[in-house]
């Protein structure tokens, strides 16, 4: 016996009119009549007094129909309350996976996590480490995570985002570097320097942009890279001991004495900006999407 038929019966029983009931259910009257006939056949007794039904005029419940209406109303009301309670309970135990690049500063991750937990106290956030900003986007695209810390541009379709931080690129160098006394350093002033670099697949778009600017002023920075690493702490350490200088987002703490961080200026005093975003699939529940946009 289908719940759909019982619900249709309840509407007819309350309206006592097949035409009005069909309108409320948004089905044709013949289809509704067929449902009631099937239900009566399954039950083995009549629900409406057919002798008192003429065309579209009101009908009356039989004694058995009146009893069934009372009991079905009680059962469906109980079912609705149970489903609502189950939904509330599932929301309390909701878990979302937050993807982060391994190179993310701890302070940044904690700040994002705290804001999400304040907004969704009944949701548990599980951190999933991804190797790069692109792998965060890939994990979102594949449905392996729900929300991810990454950077623009988005390279996968079906993703949306909210900006939470805009920072410029700096250059870090030892304090004894000849240019360390300047607050701003133009990229062409570094044409003869050796560079240490984060592995290109960690943030390919940014590094490609830097190389374009360098070539525009007559040199290749890529040709001067002496070491590539995938660890931010190691990168800073190599700069500290004088292996080379490095491009470094201004929001990353260096945490080492003997190193200075300077504004890196490109053509016509242009600075490259890193846009940090909280990305998610367009299919993420609307309540989360709207809340994320309000938090940042």
Beta strands in the chain (DSSP E): 94-101, 123-130, 147-151, 159-174, 184-186, 195-198, 225-229, 246-249, 259-265, 273-281
> For the domain that residue 46 is a member of, what is the CATH number?
1.10.10.10
What is d(CA 10, CA 13) in angstroms, rounded to the nearest whole number?
Answer: 5
CATH code at position 170: 3.40.190.290
User: Which of the listed residues 91, 116, 151 is the one where a domain comes to its end?
Assistant: 91
Looking at the structure, tell me whether residues 270 and 171 fall in a common domain. Answer: yes
Q: Which domain holds residue 198?
A: 166-274
Question: Are both 171 and 263 inside the same structural domain?
Answer: yes
In this structure, the answer to whether residues 174 and 268 fall within a common structural domain is yes
Same domain, 173 and 245: yes
Average pLDDT score over the chain: 87
Beta-carbon contacts of residue 130 (< 8 Å; ≥ 6 apart): 99, 100, 101, 102, 136, 138, 139, 145, 148
Beta bridge partners of 280: 147, 160
Contact criterion met (CB below 8 Å) for 133 and 198: no
Q: What is the pLDDT of residues 109-144, one digit of tens each?
A: 999 999 998 888 888 899 999 988 899 999 999 999
**Judgement on whether residues 113 and 29 belong to the same structural domain of the protein:** no
Residue 218 main-chain phi, psi, to 5 deg: 95, 15
265 has which bridge partners?
Answer: 186
Same domain flag for 113 and 242? no
My answer on whether 197 and 263 are in the same domain is yes
In this model, does residue 56 exceed pLDDT 60?
Answer: no
Q: Check whether 215 has a pLDDT greater than 70.
A: yes
Same-domain pairing of 73 and 197: no
Residues 184-212: what's their mean pLDDT? 86
* Confidence band of 253 (pLDDT split at 50, 70, 90): low
54 pLDDT tier (thresholds 50, 70, 90): low
Q: Residues 258, 171: one domain? A: yes
Total structural domains within the chain = 3
Q: Which stretch of 112-116, 194-198, 241-245, 254-258 has the lowest confidence by average pLDDT?
A: 254-258
Residue 57 pLDDT greater than 70, yes or no: no
Residue where a domain terminates, one of 45, 71, 91: 91
| One domain for residues 141 and 106 | yes
């Amino acid at each position: 016996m289908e719940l759909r038929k019982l619900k249709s019966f309840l509407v007819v029983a309350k309206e006592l009119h097949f035409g009005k009931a069909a309108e409320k259910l948004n089905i044709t009257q013949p289809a509704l009549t067929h449902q009631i006939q099937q239900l009566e056949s399954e039950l083995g007794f009549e629900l409406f007094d057919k002798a008192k039904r003429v065309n579209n005029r009101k009908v009356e419940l039989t004694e058995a129909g009146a009893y069934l209406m009372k009991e079905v109303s009680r059962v469906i009301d109980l079912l609705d309350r149970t489903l609502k309670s189950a939904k509330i309970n599932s929301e309390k135990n909701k878990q979302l996976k937050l993807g982060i690049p391994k190179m993310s500063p701890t302070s940044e991750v904690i700040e994002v996590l705290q804001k999400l937990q304040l907004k969704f106290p009944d949701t548990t956030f599980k951190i999933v480490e991804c190797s790069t900003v692109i792998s965060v986007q890939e994990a979102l695209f594949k449905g392996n995570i729900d929300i991810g810390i990454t950077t623009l541009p988005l390279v996968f379709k079906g993703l949306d985002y909210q900006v939470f931080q805009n920072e410029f690129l700096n250059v870090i160098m030892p304090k004894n570097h000849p240019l360390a006394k300047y607050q701003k350093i133009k990229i062409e002033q570094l044409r003869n320097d050796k560079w240490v670099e984060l592995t290109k697949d960690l943030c390919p778009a940014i590094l490609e942009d830097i190389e374009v600017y360098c070539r525009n002023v007559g040199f290749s920075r890529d040709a001067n890279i002496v070491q590539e690493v995938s660890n931010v702490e190691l990168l800073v350490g190599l700069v500290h001991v004088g292996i080379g200088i490095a491009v470094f987002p201004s929001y990353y703490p260096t945490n080492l004495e003997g190193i200075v961080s300077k504004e890196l200026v490109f053509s016509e005093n242009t600075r490259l900006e890193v846009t940090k975003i909280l990305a998610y699939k367009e299919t993420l529940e609307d309540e989360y999407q709207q809340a994320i946009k309000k938090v940042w």
